[in-house]
Structure 1
Amino acid sequence: MRAIRIKNFRSILDSGDIKLNNINLVLGKNSSGKSSFLRLFPMFKQTVRNELRGPVLWFDDSYDFGNFSNAISRYATSDKNIMFGFTVDLPNKKCASEKCSDCFIYQYSDNLFCKNAEQASLDLYLSSDNNGTFLQKIKVKVGEYNISLKIKNRNDNIDISINNIHYDHILLKWRYNTKGILPDFVGTSDNPSKTVSQIINEYIGNNKEQFKYTEKDFRSLFFIKSSNSKDIYAQFKRKRNNNFAKLITESLDCNSPDFLKICDAIILLNLMEFLLFMDKSISTDFSKSYYMTPLRYSFARYIRNKELSVDNIEPSGKNVMEYIMSLGEDEKQSYMSFLEQSLDIYITVEGNDENKSIFIQKDGEKDNIIDIGYGYSQILPIATMLWDVANKQHKCEFSEIIVIEQPEIHLHPSMQSQLVNLFINAISISKKHGNPIKLILETHSSYLVNQLGKCIRNKLISSDTTSVYLFEKSKGITDITATNYDENGRIQRWPIGFLD
């Protein structure tokens, strides 16, 4: 995922494209709309992980947007839709691993709508009725194609248009109860695949038994290089060894109504396949995102040993101890080295079978985590999540995204600055695995902001890999300004009075 755009959502009328870099700072006063943006990540993560009766899950343990009427901006434009837009890269065969479960995307590289395009944008327009939230419109921009799918009411047939050409003779509806961002397509007996086969069967007639074909022959008709009917006809004529293609070009000319029906059906099949790719791609991005709440778990002196096997950190960080105990010896050594290099601390978990304690060693002394100040209990979940996610990376189309709200809470200014070491070291680890992570950090700490600038000035990280988004709210409406650090570590285009 390259960028996100939001319209008519809470105080954000239009965010513009929020492009995702390796480090993204989100800055602004309290109640300026920052959390509305940040908590979209856990919202969509839970959305794609659960089977829903609608397009989004508005509330869960780590976020709560209420419902559609709570989420839509009171200043929304007359259409009264909430829009969530996503820009994604199209498959470019970067990952060579046959074992990568996320590399399903390469099977779509030959799709009509993926050809000659590097990126695609998909905009979801949500509305509501007495039954809750429903998807009212999808807009897609990819290469030379502008695509629109829309309904007025929940149970309407979908009005589909591609470059202003309407495809209204094949009736399709949306059906929920699916995992992912988009609902399924449900068709009548005239769905696209059956439309093609019915027309072909008319021309096979009584010679069906003598007509030699395979399922592969039939399916190969659907791989077209252009949406122009004359181009499709010419492509069929070149398929001399395909009995279906031969039958079509011998029985029909390129302007006949039946051939145009076949073209429309094949184009719509390609469109549904492309939308499936977009759904899988966006869903994978959100399923590989991680969120850390602003108020994190308060460790106790003794923690009951649940003997859980844990492979990721919860948003509050309350399962850090179980995570550490689940690490193998080599992993534990790597984890301890990361903490020592980034924070100059060393962690041990000690105790009996029933109760365990976390001890922190620093400056030659070892103390229970609750005896050395609240700050370490707040920074440890962040450090653990960063190390965990950075080590899960491999050279693939998808990068993990980590969203952290106010990482500096309860930290002394010097440790607020030290947070930057954590971020840079985690990115460095992920780069060694071939795919740098993306961090989205909401902060009120000028020490963190200045330390990041200092690291840029000292060439520890490039200004090209950082972005800054300034959130300002005036008369109930959030304005988002995109800026960045220059090569000397100074943030450009600070608005006047932003820090007043």
Structure 2
Amino acid sequence: MFKRIKLENFKAWRNSGDVHFSPVTLLLGENSTGKSSLLQSLLLMKQTATSPDRTIHLNLGGDEANDYVDMGSFEDLLTKDPENRKISIEMDVDGRQGSSFLKIDYAQDSKKSPVIDQLQLSKDGENWFRAQRSDKGAFNIYLPNETRTSLKSREYSPERGVSFSKEAIYNIGPSGSDVEDISLSILRDLEAISYLGPLRSKPRRTYIWNKTRPGIIGVDGGEAVFALLASSNTSGKKSDGLVEAVSKWLQKMCIADKLEVKHIGAGNYNILVHRDGVVANLIDVGTGVSQVLPVLVLAYFAPEKSTIILEEPEIHLHPLAQSLLAELFLEVSLERDVQFIVETHSEHLFRRMQTLVATKKAKPDQCALYFVEREKSDAVLKTLKMDKYGRIDEWPKNFFGDATGEVRKQAQETMQRMKAERASQ
């Protein structure tokens, strides 16, 4: 689970400050303020850590089939008019073997490609192992509290953005196993990220299934139906109950009574939606069903103890369904130990989270709330502190509008018009 991240000179984030994550973290803000960039930093680290090229320092993307984000070039990634031309990412994770801490500074090499200038790893946040870039592509390795070292070699170049090389680990000596454990913990958490973007795939009338279970849902949720097909064709103790779990939330959201997977022969399947005694193909019902389906599937399909990153999960949903997403995230985070990091514009989702805290169905520390705004070209993060009654101490201005004010204004206008109409009679 990710506990903290800090960005410097990363796109709109000149200095994000410490961003602390909870089991459920909501990022709110106006368009083009920097919310997505915060999520992209995690996805960028994931695609670097999972790259087939172990020598890569930063995988900026471009491979649509395998990468999550395409960040362009180092210049595209660098914030406007930086004080120094280095990009910094700090990250704390709480893994199976305890806490691990990471600090990376990126610069450009002579070919204008991103390269690690300094990689720091720690298991307590105080004693750091360092790989520091020196001349001609060589790296110096420093143990905690060392200012001088004899460990210098091109073979010590970091791997996949988060790891010391095998040669460096070997030559560090007895502490090498600690360095390896720290890197492995961070790597596992990055590998365990699942991402669903705001643009979802369109439903199909018929799905052709090759009877294999997908490994991922996909950035657009295109594999969600195949996860349902795999689940529905597994019975007994091996069944993961995915179809039933999705049906439960569709019913809670008043979108459908249940979902049905129907085999129509020769490897062809239909997804049927039941509601009020009517059975319809997924493609023939409202867009909201097909758009929220990947969100619900991913919540139960992602491995336990993983992190799910969602952008605008509320698209095409009516207000009640949007608000129930808050309950989904909290319930699944508790049941499956899954972390949710969500970028949203939904007032209904936000306010239901407040209500859940007020009614003691959730605790304030189960959810972190942030509002992202702009100061000129820089993104600025504002923490929305929630007390035990669900109250926010400082409400973001002009974001959700003023529902009470709208009702008051409507009532005033109604009274004035009625008064004028009576006077004219």
TM-score, with length taken from structure 2? 0.82
Deviation of 1:175 (Å) = 5.0
Aligned match of 1:299: 203
Is 1:84 matched with 2:66? no
| Greater mean deviation of Cα atoms: 55-64 or 441-450 | 55-64
CA contact (8 A) 1:173 1:186 kept: no
The Cα of 1:352 is off from its aligned counterpart by 2.0
CA distance in 2, matches of 1:15, 1:24: 16
Paired residue type of 1:68 = F
- Matches of residues 136-155 of structure 1 in structure 2 within 5 Å? 136-140=117-121, 142=124, 145-153=127-135, 155=137
The equivalent of 1:170 in structure 2 is 151
Kindly provide the amino acid, as one letter, of the partner of residue 129 in structure 1: D
Matches within 5 A, 1:100-499: 105=97, 119-131=99-111, 132-140=113-121, 142=124, 145-153=127-135, 155-158=137-140, 160=142, 162-163=144-145, 165-174=146-155, 178-179=159-160, 181-184=162-165, 186=167, 268-327=172-231, 328-330=234-236, 334-344=241-251, 345-350=257-262, 351-389=264-302, 392-393=303-304, 399-430=305-336, 436-499=337-400
> C-alpha distance in 1, partners of 2:282/2:295?
15
**Structure 1 residue 9 displacement after superposition:** 0.4
1:343, 1:418 within 8 Å by CA — same for their partners in 2?
A: no
Once residues 180 and 125 of structure 1 are traced to their aligned partners in structure 2, the CA distance between those partners, rounded to angstroms, is 10
The residue identity in structure 1 corresponding to 2:5 is I
Q: Compared with structure 1, are the counterparts of its residues 377 and 77 closer, same or farther at alpha carbon in structure 2 (3 Å cutoff)? A: same
| 2:118 alignment partner AA | K
Judge conservation of contact 1:173–1:185 (CA < 8 Å) in 2.
Answer: no
1:21 CA displacement:
0.6
Counterpart in the other structure of 1:228: none
- Measured in 2, the distance between the counterparts of 1:314 and 1:376 equals 18
Against the structure 1 CA distance between its residues 5 and 401, is the aligned structure 2 distance closer, same or farther, given a 3 Å change threshold?
same
**1:337 deviation in Å?**
3.2
Change in 2 beyond 3 A, CA 1:143/1:324 = closer
Is the Cα–Cα contact under 8 Å of residues 10 and 73 in structure 1 kept in the other structure? yes
CA distance in 1, matches of 2:125, 2:288: 50
CA drift of 1:11 comes to: 0.6
Does residue 54 of the first structure (1) align with residue 46 of the second (2)? no
Q: Is the 2:8–2:14 contact (alpha carbons within 8 Å) kept by the matching residues of 1?
A: yes
Could you tell me which residue of structure 2 aligns to residue 35 of structure 1?
36
Which consecutive unaligned segments of at least 5 residues does structure 1 have?
A: 91-102, 106-117, 194-267, 394-398, 431-435
Say if 1:362 and 1:66 are closer, same or farther in 2 by CA, change over 3 A. same
Structure 2 residues not aligned, in runs of 5+: 252-256, 402-425
Shift of 1:367: 0.9
In structure 1, how many angstroms separate the alpha carbons of the residues matched to 2:192 and 2:267? 33
Q: Write the distance in 2 (CA, Å) between the matches of 1:441 and 1:154.
A: 42
1:233 aligns with: none
Task: Indicate the SS of the match to 2:137.
Answer: coil
- In our comparison, the structure showing a higher alpha carbon Rg is 1
Superposed, which structure 2 residues align to 1:69-80 within 5 Å? Answer: 69-78=75-84, 80=85
- Distance of aligned partners of 1:140 and 1:424 in 2 relative to their CA distance in 1, 3 Å threshold: closer
Q: 2:73 aligns with which of 26, 47, 67?
A: 67
Contact 2:196 2:220 in 1 (8 A): yes
The separation in 1 between residues aligned to 2:135 and 2:250, in whole angstroms, is: 55
Aligned-residue RMSD, C-alpha: 2.5
TM-score (norm: length of structure 1): 0.71
Moved more, 320-329 or 303-312: 303-312
**C-alpha displacement of 1:70:** 1.1
The letter of the residue matching 1:363 is: D
CA distance 1:479–1:427, shift in 2 (3 Å): same
Secondary structure in 2 matching 1:470:
strand
